[in-house]
Amino acid sequence: MHEEAIDAKPFPKGMLIAVGAMIAFSLVFAASARLWDFGATRVVYAPVAEQRELMFTDLTDGSVGVIDVSTKQQIAELKPGQDGFVRVVMRSMARDRAVLGTIPGKPFRLARHTDDALTLTDLATGEVVMLNAFGGMNRKAFEQFLAMGRTQP
């Protein structure tokens, strides 16, 4: 008998209206934020002091070849079990490319900025990784590619 009394009570209309209004407000707010960049954060980068476009290719022995796009020369070979940070970053960016369905073969731009920031930009997706954020050792893992294979003046 007690169960019938509980089941017989209707759900409060005021609560339904409040929840519906909250959902509608959330959808309108999210749509307006997306359309007009309301609440968006913009990162302003210092001018580029030095840059190099690179391709990373898998080699038959499990190594990764680092190729300078302008010369089409391999400037480094990352052996299996070494250069873990570079491999993790590149694997992550390759996964993002696959998810977005981008055209393969676009290079990555490694750039040192005038404020000494080091960035890696995926020219296929537009994703930018601030390499300074991962500490000095990890930054150097990429920074070495700026000088490798270049003739010194």
| DSSP structure string for 71-85 | TTEEEEEE-TTS-HH
- CB burial of 74-92 (b: ≥16 within 10 Å; e: otherwise) equals ebbebeeeebebbbebbee
Residue 111: closest CA among 47, 43, 57: 47
Q: Quick one: 25 and 59 in the same domain? A: no
The overall pTM is greater than 0.85: no
- 27 and 57 both lie in a single domain: no
For residues 30 and 80, membership in a common domain is answered with no
Same domain, 94 and 68: yes
∠ CA(34), CA(117), CA(39), 5° rounding? 15
Residue 66 scores a pLDDT above 50: yes
Residue 84's domain comprises 48-147
| Structural domain total, the chain | 2
Asked if the structure places residue 42 within a domain, the reply is: no
Residue range 2-14, pLDDT digits in tens: 555 566 677 788 8
Task: For 102, list phi and psi in degrees, rounded to 5.
Answer: -75, 160
Strand 64-68 versus strand 108-113 pairing type: unpaired
Mean pLDDT taken over the chain:
87
Task: Return the closest-CA partner of residue 122 out of 132, 138, 104, 107.
Answer: 107
Q: Taking 60 as the threshold, does the pLDDT of residue 138 lie above it?
A: yes
Q: Is the pLDDT score of 40 beyond 90?
A: no
At 16 the pLDDT is 86
What would the pLDDT profile of 76-101 be if each residue is shown by its tens digit?
999 988 888 999 999 999 899 889 88
Share of the chain above pLDDT 90, in %: 56
Dihedral of the alpha carbons of 138, 143, 83, 75, in degrees to the nearest 10 = 180
Q: Are residues 10 and 69 in the same domain?
A: no
- 69 lies in the same domain as 139: yes
Contact indicator for 50, 113 with CB cutoff of 8 Å: no
152 falls within a domain: no
Q: Which residues pair with 50 in a beta bridge?
A: 112
Residue 43 falls within a domain, yes or no? no
Return the DSSP state at 11.
Answer: P
Shared domain for 112 and 65, answered yes or no, is yes
* 153 or 108, greater pLDDT: 108
